[in-house]
C-alpha cells in the first residue's frame, strides 16, 4: 500500500493518489484499524471532492469506510455531523447506489437507536432496501438485516432477533461474504449476541415455545466464539471476550465473567472500539459490588451518554446482551 501511494504521488495524478489513499484506508478497515481507516479515507474523500471529477463511486466508498469506522470508535457525534450533507449530495445528483449504501453500510441505524428512535431506524432501512435489488445477497442485504436484528435487540425482542439471524444465515453463507474477515467476525458476534439475549429471556422466565434448547444455544455461542478467536484479530478477540463473559454468566461462572469483561474492555479500547469497551465496563459494574467496579460502571454510563446514547441500558442490551448479575 505504501509503494502504491508513493508511486501515485510521483505521478502527480490526483485520481491515482485518491485511489491509493482510499484502498490503504480500506485495507485498514479490513484489519480493524479504525483510526487509520478514518484518517486515510477522509483524506481520500477530500482528494476526490476537491481535485477530481466523475468519481462519485470513489467518493461514496471513501465516505462509507470513514463513517462506519467512526461508529466503531464511538464517534457518533462526528458521524452525525457528516452524514446529512453526504446523503443530501447523493440525493441531489440522483445517485441511488450512494443513497442506499450510505444508509445501510455506515451503521446509520445505531445512531438512531442512540437517539432512541428505533421506529425511524426501521423505516430508513425499509426505504433503502425498497430502492435496492431484491436478488442475490449483497453487503447491502447483510447490513440491512444486521440493522433489523440490532433494532430487535434494542426493543427487547430477542426471539425476533434470533429468528432474523437464523433466517439470514443460509443466504449469507451462500454469498461468500463470510470470506471477508470483518463481515465474518461481525456476523458471528451478532448471532451469538442474539443467543445470549434468548438465554437471558429464559433466565427471566420468558421462554417461548419455539425457542431452541438452552444446551443448543450454549453450544452455538461457543462455536461462534471459537470461530471469531480463530481469526486472530485483536478487535475480534475483544468482541469474543465480551461474548465469553456473557456466556460465563449464563452458566453460573461469575468470576470467569469478570475476568473476561476486564480483558474485553482493555482489548476493545486498545482497538479503538470504544462503544463496546464501554459496554464491557458497564457490565463489569453490574457484576461486582466493589467500589472500583462500580466506578467502572458509572464512568461507562457517562462515556456512553457523551457519545450521544439516550437510553444506556437499552443500548448496552444491544452491544452486550445477557443475564448479568
pLDDT confidence of residue 324: 81
pLDDT confidence of residue 205: 60
User: Where in the chain are the domains?
Assistant: 1-128
pLDDT confidence of residue 153: 98
From the list 318, 16, 89, the residue with the least C-alpha distance to 196 is 318
Question: Average pLDDT per run of 10 along the chain, which is 325 residues long?
Answer: 70 89 91 92 95 94 96 94 95 94 96 98 97 93 97 96 96 94 96 96 69 91 97 95 96 93 95 94 84 76 94 96 84
Q: Is 167 exposed, middle or buried (0-12, 13-18, 19+ CB in 10 A)?
A: exposed
C-alpha 192/C-alpha 201 separation (Å) is 14
Collapsed DSSP state (helix, strand, coil) of residue 271:
coil
C-alpha 26/C-alpha 46 separation (Å) is 15
Which DSSP string corresponds to 277-310? HHHHHHHHHHH--SHHHHHHHHHHHHHHHHTT-S
C-alpha 84/C-alpha 105 separation (Å) is 15
C-alpha 283/C-alpha 315 separation (Å) is 12
Which DSSP string corresponds to 113-157? HHTT-HHHHHHHHHHHHHTS--SS--HHHHHHHHHHHHHHHHTT-
pLDDT confidence of residue 30: 83
Set of cell numbers at residue 232: 486472530
Helices (H), 155-308: 158-175, 181-203, 214-230, 234-250, 254-270, 274-287, 291-306
CATH of the structural domain 1-128, one choice from 2.40.50.140, 3.55.50.30, 3.20.20.105, 1.25.40.10: 1.25.40.10
Amino acid at each position: 500500500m505504501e509503494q502504491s501511494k508513493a508511486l501515485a504521488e510521483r505521478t502527480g495524478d490526483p485520481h491515482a493518489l485518491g485511489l491509493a489513499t482510499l484502498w490503504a484506508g480500506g485495507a485498514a478497515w479490513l484489519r480493524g484499524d479504525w483510526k487509520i481507516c478514518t484518517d486515510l479515507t477522509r483524506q481520500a474523500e477530500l482528494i476526490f471532492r476537491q481535485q477530481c471529477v466523475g468519481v462519485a463511486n470513489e467518493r461514496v466508498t471513501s465516505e462509507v469506510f470513514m463513517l462506519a469506522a467512526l461508529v466503531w470508535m464511538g464517534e457518533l457525534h462526528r458521524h452525525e455531523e457528516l452524514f446529512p450533507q453526504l446523503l443530501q449530495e447523493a440525493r441531489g445528483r440522483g445517485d441511488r447506489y450512494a443513497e442506499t449504501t450510505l444508509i445501510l453500510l455506515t451503521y446509520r441505524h445505531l445512531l438512531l437507536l442512540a437517539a432512541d428512535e428505533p421506529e425511524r431506524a426501521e423505516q430508513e432501512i425499509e426505504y433503502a432496501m425498497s430502492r435496492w435489488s431484491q436478488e442475490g445477497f449483497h453487503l447491502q442485504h447483510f447490513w440491512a438485516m444486521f440493522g433489523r436484528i440490532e433494532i430487535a435487540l434494542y426493543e427487547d425482542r430477542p426471539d425476533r432477533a434470533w429468528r432474523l439471524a437464523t433466517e439470514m444465515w443460509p443466504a449469507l453463507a451462500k454469498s461468500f461474504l463470510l470470506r471477508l474477515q470483518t463481515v465474518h467476525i461481525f456476523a458471528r458476534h451478532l448471532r451469538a449476541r442474539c443467543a445470549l439475549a434468548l438465554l437471558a429471556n429464559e433466565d427471566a422466565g420468558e421462554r417461548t415455545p419455539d425457542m431452541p434448547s438452552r444446551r443448543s444455544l450454549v453450544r452455538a455461542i461457543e462455536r461462534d466464539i471459537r470461530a471469531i478467536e480463530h481469526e486472530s484479530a485483536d478487535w475480534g478477540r475483544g468482541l469474543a471476550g465480551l461474548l465469553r463473559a456473557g456466556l460465563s454468566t449464563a452458566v453460573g461462572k461469575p468470576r470467569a465473567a469478570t475476568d473476561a469483561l476486564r480483558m474485553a474492555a482493555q482489548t476493545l479500547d486498545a482497538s479503538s472500539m470504544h462503544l463496546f469497551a464501554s459496554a464491557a465496563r458497564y457490565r463489569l459494574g453490574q457484576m461486582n459490588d466493589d467500589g472500583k467496579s462500580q466506578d467502572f460502571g458509572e464512568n461507562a454510563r457517562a462515556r456512553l451518554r457523551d457519545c450521544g446514547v439516550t437510553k444506556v441500558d437499552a443500548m448496552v442490551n444491544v452491544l452486550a446482551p445477557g443475564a448479568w448479575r
